[in-house]
């Protein structure tokens, strides 16, 4: 489906059995007007293809297990990710994704972020093997690191090192931080933040009605309470780290020191950050 010729005029024939499908094909070939079981249309120009890699929060145990078992391309790339992560982690990517005896706890930030990175990079490899080539890639949080890797800006070993050390550093944070997902546009969330004066900030804008805030736990809970009183849906995100807030700035120097030499490379596709 991804590699076949693209025609302007198209028919889709729907049927419960062979006879029904043949009847639909015959009617379409003969130019019948609105035949039963046939959907016709004219294709619009094909747009550009973009791979979008998210931050954490939508993962679940076993999310890559069946694909690992059914897709040799996915399994090969995941094994490459495991080798790249091995010098920097004390747990098994293979067991964590496939539910093996050395599976690590996905509630740990220094586990879930490298696992999601490996999932994103491996999914991109599968998509490309099926003929889906991106014009650009974009990402947020560890998704930004995956996007840079897929675009070719970072080698897999360098990208794995960055995501592992970054998440390990975040795991050392002892702050009473918090994050929340607000079902409201950015401008509405800014109004609520100004009203509470809580000190929380917008961490990410994930969509027209999906905004994430971050900060000290007390500030985030105060904002959630204000949202509830205003009839705005808000959800506490289980996290002790105030991700993507100014409170994280103090990690920058230490992070740079731990990374050492990282060598960017010419990109294969456009890459961007959110």
Q: Which residues contact 105 (CB under 8 A, 6 or more apart)?
A: 111
Q: Give the model's pLDDT for residue 262.
A: 81
Whole-angstrom distance, CA of residue 148 vs CA of residue 162:
11
Q: Give the model's pLDDT for residue 256.
A: 80
Q: How far apart are the first and last CA of the chain?
A: 30
> DSSP state, 227?
H
Helical H segments across 172-237, by residue range = 186-196, 217-229
Angle of the 72-85 helix axis to the 156-171 helix axis, nearest 10: 60
Whole-angstrom distance, CA of residue 6 vs CA of residue 44:
11
The secondary element (H helix, E strand) that includes residue 181 is strand 177-182
**pTM to 2 decimal places:** 0.73
**How many other C-beta atoms can be found within 10 angstroms of the C-beta atom of residue 250?**
11
The secondary element (H helix, E strand) that includes residue 48 is none
Whole-angstrom distance, CA of residue 20 vs CA of residue 13:
9
Q: Give the model's pLDDT for residue 201.
A: 92
How far is residue 230 from each of residues 104, 180, 187, measured CA to CA in Å?
40, 16, 15
Q: Give the model's pLDDT for residue 174.
A: 59
Q: Give the model's pLDDT for residue 145.
A: 94
Q: Give the model's pLDDT for residue 168.
A: 86
**Average pLDDT, consecutive stretches of 10 residues, N- to C-terminus, the chain (274 residues):** 69 90 89 85 79 80 87 96 95 90 85 93 94 90 92 94 89 77 93 84 88 90 92 84 80 79 72 47
7 φ, ψ (degrees, to nearest 5): -105, 150
Q: Give the model's pLDDT for residue 3.
A: 63
Cα torsion angle, 216, 219, 221, 223, sign: negative
Q: Give the model's pLDDT for residue 88.
A: 93
Say which residue the tokens 């996290």 belong to. Answer: 239
Q: Which of 116, 115, 130, 114 is nearest to 72 (CA)?
A: 130
């Amino acid at each position: 489906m991804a590699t076949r010729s693209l025609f302007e005029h198209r028919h889709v024939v729907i049927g419960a059995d062979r006879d029904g499908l043949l009847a639909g094909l015959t009617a379409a070939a003969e130019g019948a007007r609105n035949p039963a079981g046939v959907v016709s249309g004219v294709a619009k120009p094909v747009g550009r293809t973009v791979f979008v890699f998210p931050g954490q929060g939508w993962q679940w145990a076993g999310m890559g297990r069946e694909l690992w078992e059914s897709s040799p391309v996915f399994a090969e790339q995941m094994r490459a990710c495991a080798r790249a992560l091995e010098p920097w982690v004390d747990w098994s990517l293979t067991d964590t994704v496939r539910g093996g005896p050395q599976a690590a706890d996905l509630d740990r930030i220094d586990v879930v972020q490298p696992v999601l990175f490996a999932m994103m990079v491996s999914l991109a490899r599968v998509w490309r093997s099926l003929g889906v080539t991106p014009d650009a890639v974009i990402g947020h949080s560890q998704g930004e690191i995956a996007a840079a890797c897929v675009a070719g800006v970072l080698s897999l070993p360098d990208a794995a090192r960055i995501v592992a050390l970054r998440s390990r550093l975040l795991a050392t944070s002892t702050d009473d931080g918090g994050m929340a997902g607000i079902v409201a546009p950015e401008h509405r969330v800014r109004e609520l933040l100004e009203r509470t004066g809580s000190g929380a900030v917008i961490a990410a804008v994930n969509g027209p009605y999906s905004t994430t805030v971050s900060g000290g736990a007390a500030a985030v809970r105060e904002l959630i309470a204000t949202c509830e009183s205003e009839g705005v849906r808000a959800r506490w995100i289980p996290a002790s780290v105030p991700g993507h807030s100014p409170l994280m700035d103090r990690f920058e120097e230490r992070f740079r020191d731990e990374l050492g030499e990282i060598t960017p490379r010419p990109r294969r596709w456009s890459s961007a950050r959110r």
